[in-house]
Amino acid sequence: ETGVTQSPTHLIKTRGQQVTLRCSSQSGHNTVSWYQQALGQGPQFIFQYYREEENGRGNFPPRFSGLQFPNYSSELNVNALELDDSALYLCASSSTAGGFGNTIYFGEGSWLTVV
């Protein structure tokens, strides 16, 4: 049990629609990252939020956006969904208080299917 919770666990959307995924980070963790994992691949970094500010972004288009709230929970929003967006979306939290090399804990993910 990592203390990182994600919702919803599964959802199906139609191409062109918009989706919002939610994440509650582990208590005491002020850094949240989002990853996309396609079948048979390792997770790919989307972006990271630290104290409500975006703190790094991977090679994903602007239609992928996010928010972090004062309680450090986070949302991932994807607009204009495409079929290739079908994947497992993972939220990860960590604490930067200890400096580099902090353990990063993942939630169980949200399965998104775009039809």
Q: Does 56 bind other proteins (CB under 8 A)?
A: yes
Give pairs for 39-46: CB < 8 Å, separation 24+. 39/87, 43/90, 46/76
Piece in contact with other proteins (CB under 8 A), picked from 13-21, 31-39, 62-70, 77-85: 31-39
- 47 within 8 A of 34, measured Cβ to Cβ: yes
Q: Does 98 bind other proteins (CB under 8 A)?
A: no
Q: Does 52 bind other proteins (CB under 8 A)?
A: no
* CA 2, chain centre distance (Å): 15
Piece in contact with other proteins (CB under 8 A), picked from 14-22, 34-42, 67-75, 77-85: 34-42
CA angle 83/84/87 to nearest 5° reads 105
Strand, coil or helix: what is 37?
Answer: strand
Q: Does 60 bind other proteins (CB under 8 A)?
A: no
Residue 78 CA to residue 103 CA, distance in Å, equals 27
Piece in contact with other proteins (CB under 8 A), picked from 12-20, 66-74, 76-84, 86-94: 86-94
Footprint of other proteins on this chain (CB under 8 A)?
2, 4, 6, 31, 33, 35, 40-45, 48, 55-56, 58, 88, 90, 92, 94, 96, 100-109, 111
